[in-house]
Amino acid sequence: MQDSEKIDISQGDDFTSTNPDGLAKTLFLVYAISAVGTAARFISRMFIELYAVVIRTDEVKAFGTALALITSLRNLIQLAFQSSFGRISDFLGRKTLILIGLFGSGVTLSLFPLIRNVWVLVIGVVFFSLFIACYSPAFTALLGDLTKKENRASLLNLVTLIGAIASLICLLVAGSLSTGGSTEHLQYTIILESATGLFLITGIISIFLTNPPTEKLEKKDVLSFAPLRKNKRFRNFVVVGSLMGFSMSLGWPIFPVVRAEYASAQQNTYLWAAFSGFMILTLLVTKPFIDRMSRKSILFIGRFVMFFVPLNLVITVLWVPEWWHMAIGTAVSGFGNGFYIVGESAFILDSATEKEKGTYTGLFYFFMGIATFLGSLLSGILRDIVELSLGEWHTIIVFLWIITGMRFTASLGFLLVKSPKNANE
């Protein structure tokens, strides 16, 4: 696809002038997939961990490790396998990978409420994550196929905004439906099955996609580290992003325990509605000038504020044990992610060559997957060890303080990242 054929959203509806029917249809489908698909991924990601806490029993040993495996394996597979699936989409086409990922995710997630053992849930998460890893890089690369570097951040901002709005609406609906559940397990079942339906709806929408006419990658190996050798700025971004990912993931085996303790199923939907709401507000406010901001500024702002999330949970446990207080933390997280998600995708796609957008996307998430796997697993194992001496809640408080400091320190690394440079430039 030549640049003249790509969507230039800065020209309003003028992008349809070269191929009105094809581009207009594709853009509509992209918005629809982003809306419903983002809601499905968001709800499933947040509530699988909470569901693990709900089905916990006294007989389960090393629960911290089990919860850590759920979060660490999820991220390792969803992120690390994106390198291979992203590269496959470069020569096989985006649509095939998107369809397999969406329908596979929906079918797998639908079985989760039948699971009552946290260790069996770990196995289920492995299969679910493989399908997410199939879908994600193909869809991100599709966005790169349709945009130019000059307007890419604006489209990513708009797509993310649409996804956040849909997530907010679906969370509120799922929360309302969950009140009909007579038990906590049934309440979480309703929420997870709602996400299942969203995955399947997104898959049906994706059937109508057409692969854009891009240059195809001829060399069909499924993993390449060449971008790290050719592009120093991209390599530095991978290093800093991975270190930040490690510090972020340390909290994943800890946060769900606090949120499940101080919030019901419905209240947890309100927590994440606050996240989506503030993400929406951030995306709306920044949309007019996001393309004029440096990628480094977007990334730094987005990740710097994330130290407040574990700090907020410490305050919840020690002084303000209310669900609405935790909502302040998720709101700040929504603000940060509103910046970061746009900056991350834009940086990767700006760095990639025309033929290797899927490869670059997958390669970044390959290392992010490894980093978050190690961070989450290490945190869960250490939690089980320390808990033997300090007890569960004292251990959680200590870990939350440590995670706060590590997130703050790691975010400073983005100040060292330079503007992206395409390997061919």
Kindly list the structural domains of the chain, giving each domain's residue range(s) and its CATH number in brackets, ordered by start: 17-213+223-416 (1.20.1250.20)
Residues 6+ positions from 248 with CB-CB distance below 8 Å: 306, 372, 375, 407, 410
Q: What is d(CA 146, CA 61) in angstroms, rounded to the nearest whole number? A: 49
Torsions phi, psi of 7, nearest 5? -70, 125
pLDDT of residue 19: 55
Q: What is d(CA 47, CA 229) in angstroms, rounded to the nearest whole number? A: 39
**What does the buried/exposed string (b/e) look like for 197-232 if buried means 16 or more CB atoms within 10 Å of the residue's CB?**
bbbbbbbebbeebebbebeebeeeeeebeebbeebe
303, 417 Cβ separation under 8 angstroms = no
Burial of 2 (0-12, 13-18, 19+ CB in 10 A): exposed
Q: What is d(CA 134, CA 138) in angstroms, rounded to the nearest whole number? A: 7
Burial of 342 (0-12, 13-18, 19+ CB in 10 A): buried
Q: What is d(CA 210, CA 373) in angstroms, rounded to the nearest whole number? A: 35
pLDDT of residue 213: 67
User: Which of the 8 DSSP states describes residue 287?
Assistant: T
> pTM of the full predicted structure?
0.85
User: Which of the 8 DSSP states describes residue 215?
Assistant: P
Which residue ranges in the chain fall short of pLDDT 70? 1-22, 58-60, 83, 149-152, 213-223, 422-425
pLDDT of residue 64: 86
Q: What is d(CA 419, CA 296) in angstroms, rounded to the nearest whole number? A: 7
